[in-house]
Amino acid sequence: MTDLEIVFQESAATAKLDEVPLSHLSVELGHLYMEDFRAGYGRLVELFARVRPWAHVAGEVCRTVWGDKARISTCFLVDDYFSPFGSPAELVPMLQRAAAEADLVIDYLARESACAAADGVEPARLVEGRLVAEPPRHANGSRPPVTETGWLSNGERSPHTVAAEAMEAVEPWRPPRQNLVNNHSIFMDVELWDEPRTGRRWSCPMLAAVWQLLRLGLLRHEGRAVAVPRDPAGSLPATWRELAPVTRLRPGARPFFAYRTFSVLGTRFLPVEGAVRTILGQVSVDPAVNDLVLARAADEGRTLSADILDRIDYAFVNGATAPLR
């Protein structure tokens, strides 16, 4: 008899990675929150009118790189996580009409709650598991890890002042300091989640970071792609929970996932997106998945940056009610 050789491997190391179709650019036409919906149809028309010139310019820039056959898709995010409102059957046709008035088409509609849970997978947990927090210069282990606190920073906080024993020297105040500082620090401390009585509640910056990774096609669970778009099954449902995490609204639309993302957002999102970039700067994307995307771009004759932050662009638009002219 021959000896039996047993080899142990992690299943994740052998899982076959799904490849996903990729557009050259994913253009986000905006977020919708309860207050926007309650302001009425006219507000939606104004929002899309403000987005239109930036979306069209983004498309033109993409075509200068990829030519007339550039693959461009659009998407729109609805907040059904923090404040669910309305119903898809009522709201989606209204959104489509308002976009059409601004000469825009929504290819894909995504639910913000899909960044927390989608088709039995928790995308936010996947991203949390790939966080590699930057240790500050003088770290001594006194700060608990992000997985315990739910807080992620890009540097070193000011020391916490505590009452000193008699005759004990008081530690002098020090300013916070950014890890990768460029002359002067911009220190950020980002809350990723809290835990009210209902359980973990992810923060807006964390969900927005997940949203960017979803659009870039970089999330996998046991090798399978996450939040793959689906066509609506018949008429639109009455509740958001019944709607797919990402729904394809236009048959024949270019792929939802893309090499690059471009988002047109109100200026109120500036602090959130600053926090998003802090989070993504400390996410270790699966190198096998990233290499797939880089290789796909190379096959099309283009070099894509290995740094995911270089693939994300924005236009921040003033939140005044009058549309751009």
Q: For residue range 170-182, list pLDDT tens digits in order.
A: 667 676 666 676 7
User: What's the rounded Cα separation, in Å, for the pair 127 and 212?
Assistant: 11
Task: Identify the residue whose tokens are 């923060």.
Answer: 203
**CA–CA separation, 30 vs 27, rounded Å?**
9
| pLDDT exceeds cutoff 70 at 161 | no
Residue 266 has pLDDT above 70, yes or no: yes
pLDDT at residue 304 in the model: 96
Whether the per-residue pLDDT at 323 is higher than 50: the answer is no
Which pLDDT band holds residue 144 (cuts at 50, 70, 90)? confident
Amino acid at 220: R
Q: Give the pLDDT band (50/70/90) at residue 210.
A: very high
Closest CA to 286 of 306, 265, 268: 306
Short-list 265, 230, 267, CA closest to 251: 230
Least confident range of 21-25, 84-88, 120-124: 84-88
| pLDDT level of residue 156 (50, 70, 90 thresholds) | confident
Q: Quick one: average pLDDT of 51-71?
A: 96
What is the rounded CA–CA span in Å between residue 109 and residue 222? 25
Place of tokens 């870039």: 216
Does 60 have pLDDT greater than 50?
Answer: yes
Higher pLDDT, 154 or 325: 154
Q: Return the closest-CA partner of residue 114 out of 275, 246, 296.
A: 246
The arithmetic mean of pLDDT across residues 37-48, rounded, is: 90
pLDDT of the residue at 32? 82
Query: Residue 120: pLDDT above 50?
Result: yes
pLDDT > 90: percent of the chain: 66
User: 186 pLDDT band (50/70/90 cuts)?
Assistant: confident
Mean pLDDT, range 201-216, rounded to an integer: 97
Of 94, 123, 104, 14, nearest in space to 57 by CA: 104
